[in-house]
Amino acid sequence: MYIVEVIRLISTQDIRDKEVINIYDGRSMGFVDDMEIDLQKGTVEGIVVPAERRMFSFFGRDEDTVIRWKDVKRIGQDVVLVDVPAGNSLHAPVDMVYNNRIDESEE
């Protein structure tokens, strides 16, 4: 008996604009806007969900949310399922992923 594992490669276009659903609490976190990639390692570090714009705000928005790639559980045709506990530091600003300042001890 042989077990065959199928690995499906996806492009950034395949994942962009999919809705991100947190299976921890069932809420929508927004839509994938970008991906964080470590060019030195050649690895995907996470997906970026832009912060919601504040109503009547002329001066931008809050920090974007970066969800680490290891917390992405499933990529479907329409949605991306992630498991991110509320209040967890995984909701990190983009510069935290680049500078490796996310506390790995919480894993």
User: Is residue 105's pLDDT more than 60?
Assistant: no
**Exposure string over 91-102, b if 16+ CB within 10 A, otherwise e:** bbeeebbeeeeb
H-helix or E-strand spanning residue 96: helix 94-98
- Contacts of residue 86, Cβ cutoff 8 Å, sequence gap at least 6: 24, 25
User: How does pLDDT run across 45-85, given as a tens digit for each residue?
Assistant: 999 998 876 666 566 556 788 999 999 999 999 999 999 88
Q: What pLDDT sits at residue 8?
A: 67
Q: What pLDDT sits at residue 9?
A: 75
Domains of the chain and CATH, by start = 12-53+61-99 (2.30.30.240)
Nearest CA to 68 out of 86, 84, 45, 92 is that of 45
Determine the Cα–Cα distance for residues 81 and 15; give it in Å rounded to an integer: 11
pTM, entire model: 0.67
Determine the Cα–Cα distance for residues 43 and 27; give it in Å rounded to an integer: 27
